[in-house]
Structures are given as structure tokens and as C-alpha cells.
């Protein structure tokens, strides 16, 4: 498992994809941050976090699109499948590698907040809560991306489908204004990643949301394992 993790990490940074991701992520976060706080002379970070969550829809598929589709296309998956490693090990290693890159970028971009402290008294607890939620949403999105990559043989297809699915997850509750059925609205609100994320930007630490994000991650990683398990039988 460690071997696969190391190879994935290496692959991110011997191909341009890791650098492209880091560059876009850091530039975007810096730009959004300076615009939403410094230019506005405000210590309110809710706009920043909202924009970042939306940017994940486009950014995170960059990290996940290759994970399984490329292995399948070049038939290197046979090497992994015949090695003494479990399927869960393979999936987790790939997930952890993508998560490491994502997490490192999030940490780096969090240095932005230090600037706030030199000029204002931002609410540290809110910022930390938001950061945690941001990382967890990222985790869930990566898991979704990996799952979709395991279904596709082409990177491009994987990335396009992932973007679509992530967007759906994020904004599914927008359909609520068109729906009269109360229980359906409740369900869509529950499924929406963004509705739950808004609680954090309002300064509420939503335990249920944290569980929701973690469950999403676990479910999609499990589904990825199942995809491979199923394929052996078909």
C-alpha cells in the first residue's frame, strides 16, 4: 500500500498535473482571499470559503481523474491486481495520495489568514471550523472523483463526469425553490453538500455535516472497491 502511495505521489509531481493543481489552487485562493477580505476591509471569511468550495468542483477532478482510468487504459491495473495487496489497500493508497496533495495546498493557502491577524481580530474558532469543513468536503469530493475514475477508461470522461456529479452534490438544494413537497425538500437539503457547508460559514459547528462528509467519503471509497470486486466476476 505504501508503495502505491509513493508511486501516486511521484506521478503527481513527475507529470505536470500536480504542479498545475497546486498553482491554480494557490493563485485562486490568494486572489479570492485578498479580494474578499483585504479589498473589502473585512475580516469576514464566509465569501472566501464559499468560493473555495465551489472551486473544488473544477479543481479536485484534476487530482482524481487519472487515478484508476489511466491504470485501466494502460493495463497497469493488472500489476496491482496480481500483487499481494488488497483492493481496499489500493483504493486507500490512491485516495491518500490525492488527499495529501490537496491537504498540503490547503495548508499552504491557509497562511493567508495570518495577514488578517495583523490588521483585525478574526474569529479563530470560526476559521478553524471552516477549514475543517473545507478539508472534509475536499475529502468527500476526492472520493467521488476516484469512484468515477474507476468507472471510466478515459481521463477526460472521468473529469467531465466528476465535475457534473460534484456540482450536483453541491447545489442540489437549489432545486428546492421549485419543489413544494416538504419531505423532498428536506431530503435534498440533507444531500446538498453546500447547504450543510453554509452552517460553517455562518459560524455554526455542524457535527451532522461532519459526519455527512465523512460518510460520503467512506461510501464512495467503498463503492470503488466494489467496482473492482465486481469487475473480477463479470
Partner 1 sequence: MIKIEHLVKNYGSHVALSDVSFEISEGEIVGFLGPNGAGKSTTMNIITGCLSSTSGTVTVDGKDVLEDPLEAKRLIGYLPETPPLYPDMSVEEYLNFVYDLKRCTLDRKAHIGEICASVRITDVRRRLIRNLSKGYRQRVGIAQALVGNPPVLIFDEPTVGLDPKQIIEVRNLLRTLSRTHTVILSTHILQEVQAICGRLIIINDGVIVADRRTEELTRVIRDNRRYRLRVAGPQKEVLELLRNLPGIERAEALTERDGEAFSFSFESAAGIDVRRPLFFRLAERGYPVYGLEAVGMDLEDIFLQLVDHPEQSLESMAAARSRRRK
| Interaction site with partner 1 (CB under 8 A) | 2-4, 6-7, 10-11, 14-15, 74-86, 232-234
The CA distances from residue 137 to 15, 90, 224, in Å, are: 26, 22, 18
Minimum distance of partner 1 from residue 18's CB (angstroms): 12
Cα separation, 153 vs 72, whole angstroms: 6
| Lookup result for grid cell 479580494 | 35
Cα separation, 172 vs 190, whole angstroms: 9
The CA distances from residue 134 to 51, 55, 103, 207, 215, in Å, are: 11, 11, 10, 14, 15
Nearer to partner 1, 6 or 202 (CB): 6
Minimum distance of partner 1 from residue 146's CB (angstroms): 18
Cα separation, 28 vs 14, whole angstroms: 23
| Lookup result for grid cell 481580530 | 121
Residue whose C-alpha is closest to residue 127's, from 206, 32, 36, 48: 48
Contact 222, 92 (CB under 8 A): no
Q: What is the dihedral of CA 89, 91, 97, 98, to 10 degrees?
A: -160
Nearer to partner 1, 19 or 35 (CB): 19
Nearer to partner 1, 72 or 196 (CB): 72
Nearer to partner 1, 3 or 164 (CB): 3
Minimum distance of partner 1 from residue 229's CB (angstroms): 9
Nearer to partner 1, 183 or 233 (CB): 233
Nearer to partner 1, 42 or 88 (CB): 88
Minimum distance of partner 1 from residue 42's CB (angstroms): 45
Minimum distance of partner 1 from residue 1's CB (angstroms): 9
| Lookup result for grid cell 481521463 | 155
Long-range (24+ apart) CB contacts under 8 A made by 183-187 are: none
Minimum distance of partner 1 from residue 79's CB (angstroms): 4
Amino acid at each position: 500500500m505504501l508503495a502505491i502511495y509513493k508511486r501516486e505521489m511521484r506521478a503527481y509531481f513527475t507529470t505536470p498535473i500536480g504542479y498545475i493543481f497546486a498553482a491554480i489552487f494557490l493563485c485562486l485562493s490568494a486572489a479570492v482571499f485578498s479580494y474578499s477580505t483585504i479589498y473589502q476591509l473585512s475580516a469576514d471569511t464566509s465569501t472566501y470559503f464559499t468560493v473555495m468550495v465551489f472551486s473544488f468542483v473544477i479543481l479536485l477532478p484534476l487530482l482524481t481523474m487519472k487515478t484508476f482510468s489511466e491504470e485501466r487504459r494502460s493495463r497497469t491495473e493488472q500489476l496491482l491486481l496480481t500483487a499481494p495487496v488488497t483492493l481496499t489497500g489500493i483504493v486507500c493508497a490512491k485516495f491518500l495520495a490525492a488527499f495529501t496533495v490537496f491537504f498540503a495546498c490547503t495548508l499552504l493557502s491557509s497562511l493567508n489568514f495570518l495577514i488578517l491577524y495583523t490588521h483585525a481580530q478574526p474569529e479563530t474558532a470560526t476559521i478553524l471550523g471552516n477549514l475543517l469543513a473545507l478539508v472534509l468536503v475536499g475529502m468527500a469530493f476526492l472520493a467521488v472523483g476516484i469512484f468515477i475514475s474507476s468507472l471510466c477508461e478515459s481521463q477526460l470522461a472521468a473529469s467531465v463526469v466528476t465535475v457534473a456529479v460534484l456540482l450536483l452534490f453541491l447545489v442540489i438544494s437549489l432545486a428546492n425553490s421549485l419543489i413544494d413537497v416538504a419531505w423532498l425538500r428536506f431530503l435534498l437539503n440533507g444531500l446538498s453538500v453546500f447547504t450543510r457547508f453554509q452552517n460553517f460559514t455562518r459560524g455554526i459547528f455542524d457535527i451532522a455535516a461532519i459526519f455527512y462528509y465523512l460518510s460520503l467519503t467512506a461510501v464512495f471509497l467503498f463503492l470503488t472497491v466494489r467496482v473492482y470486486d465486481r469487475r473480477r466476476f463479470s
